[in-house]
A = this chain, B = another copy of it.
């Protein structure tokens, strides 16, 4: 099987097994502030075990395609939402679990204005901006304990456009 993974456009239905896509598509759930603001309500399943959710900022180096994917990780104790603080797309890499190890990964490229919440214990790649400044707000678990499992592939995959 080819080690190349063709990047897909982000789609909420395709992504649903792995987490939540946050976006303002469709009509807002509520109109607030004297009609001047729409609210798309409660878009992420925050799922934290034995801790509390917090907001941290991440700044990551932008990557260039094609990109080698050598490792994925998962967090058994909490979901992790990534909110880009610029309108630039970024890559979201996720993989199904096959009995404790990751199956073949999938890679999604977001559109401007999309954020994601990766489900608790879902295999995923590290934060992968495609443009500087690579700045994100991250809503994830604050707490002690072992909350990181890494899996290194025998051979890296290559993430590329079609």
- CB-contact partner of A40 in B57, B83, B115, under 8 A: B57
Shortest C-beta distance, A101 to chain B (Å), equals 20
Binds B, one of A92-100, A135-143, A154-162: A135-143
Count of A interface residues, CB-CB < 8 Å? 45
- A137 and B37: CB pair below 8 A? no
* Interface SS of A by simple majority: strand
Nearest B residue to A52 via CB reads B46
- B85 and A115: CB pair below 8 A? yes
Chain A contacts to B: CB under 8 angstroms: 22-24, 28, 32-34, 36-44, 46, 52-61, 81, 83-87, 113, 115, 117, 126-127, 133-135, 137-139, 142
